[in-house]
Amino acid sequence: MRDRSPHSAPRRLGLRVTACVGAAALAAVPIVAATSAGAAGPTLKSANIPNYTGVLENAMSRTLYALSIERGAKIHCKTACLSIWPPLLVKSSVTTITLGKGVKGKIGFVKRSATTKQVTFNSYPVYTYAGDTGPNQSMGEQIVADGGIWRMVHANARTAAATPYLPILNKGTSKGTAATYAGVVQNTASRSLYVLSAENGGSIHCSAGCLSIWPPLMVTSTTTSIAMGQGVAGTVGFITRGTGKQVTINSYPVYTYSGDTGAAQCNGQHIVADGGTWTLINASATTSGTTQVSGTACNGPWGYIGAR
């Protein structure tokens, strides 16, 4: 996670204790399906932006965000927060919102003043971010502030649980008893991801029994792009695996390791097997030559070395 704000905005870390707005009752709203803005209110639309697909945007193609602790329309962003995170407001008289293709969530409102109310999406109040200086930007993603985490919104989400955007590839730190590796690539569950040296260029060596030890990072056959968290700089691609696709980064197919039994572990680092060496992935790498993280076993020694 990261804490970033515009240069003119103060940093705000930790929990800001605020009371919920008493009048902030969530209201169900009729939905009008459309592909262009309507007179009743702003259009909410689905957009593909750099590194992310199906992001909720407003009529001006500005990315919309939700604060994790505001689920259920429990307002925490007030006063100074609103200059950094402007709420998506409509007049109190508005009763319908025009939705673009791909926007599937439940629309509602929460009162903000005597004359305005804020649009909610699957019970989350939605905001733009002052640090996004143009359309289709995502500078507000994963900012830790205002008592929670700011995240973009999945336009096709139908439930509150599925609403916050969770990148598939994230930058994190993996730790073991013998070593710590910062700036490595992890999945949504903060599990360390690995590549095999022999597979540079997508030449698959891990198959059959190997896959039970090194599960590939898979997506559906129709996936054309995936979400990457801030700090993951590599080129993402795909290679066909059965009826789906395996994610690649800088031409290396990507895997988790069954020996990592929890988040942020690195038990697979520098295992020699399957025709090469398994290593963690350098999140800042943009070339295949810099993708593999150097260093010996995170927790060694190991009970097996060499091909299996």
CA-angle at 39, arms to 79 and 114, nearest 5°: 30
Determine the pLDDT at residue 222.
Answer: 79
pLDDT at 231: 86
How far is the C-alpha of 282 from the C-alpha of 171, rounded, in Å? 9
How many helices (H) and strands (E) the chain has is answered by 2, 21
Are the beta carbons of 37 and 90 closer than 8 angstroms? Answer: no
Helix, strand, or coil here: 129?
coil
**pLDDT higher than threshold 70 for residue 308:** no
The stretch 14-31 carries a mean pLDDT of 35
pLDDT above 70 coverage of the chain, percent: 83
Question: Does the model's pTM come out above 0.75?
Answer: no
Q: In 10 A of CB 71, how many CB atoms?
A: 18
For residues 37 and 118, state if they share a domain: yes
Number of structural domains in the chain: 2
**pLDDT (0 to 100) of residue 247:** 95
Give the containing element (helix H, strand E) for 148: strand 148-152
State whether 131 and 212 are in the same domain. no
Residue 116 structural domain: 27-152
Same-domain pairing of 111 and 145: yes
- What pLDDT digit, counting tens, does each position of 94-130 carry? 998 899 999 999 999 999 999 999 999 999 999 999 9
The answer to the question of residue 10 being in a domain is no
Residue 250: pLDDT band with limits 50, 70, 90: very high
Closest CA to 108 of 96, 92, 93, 91: 96
Question: Is residue 12 in some structural domain?
Answer: no
Instruction: Mark whether 145 and 191 lie in a shared domain.
Output: no
Q: Is position 90 within any domain? A: yes
Ramachandran region of residue 147, left (φ > 0), alpha (ψ -120 to 50) or beta?
Answer: left
> Does 20 map to a domain?
no
62: helix, coil or strand?
coil
In this structure, what DSSP letter does residue 125 have?
E
**Statement to judge: residues 271 and 186 lie in one domain:** yes
Residue 141 lies in a domain: yes
**Per-residue pLDDT tens digits for 272-284:** 999 999 999 999 9
Considering the domain boundaries, does residue 1 fall inside one?
no
Instruction: Confirm whether 3 is domain-assigned.
Output: no
Q: Is residue 11, in this structure, part of any structural domain at all? A: no
Q: What is the pLDDT of residue 224?
A: 79
3-state secondary structure 264-289: CECCCCCEEECCEEEEEEECCCCCHH
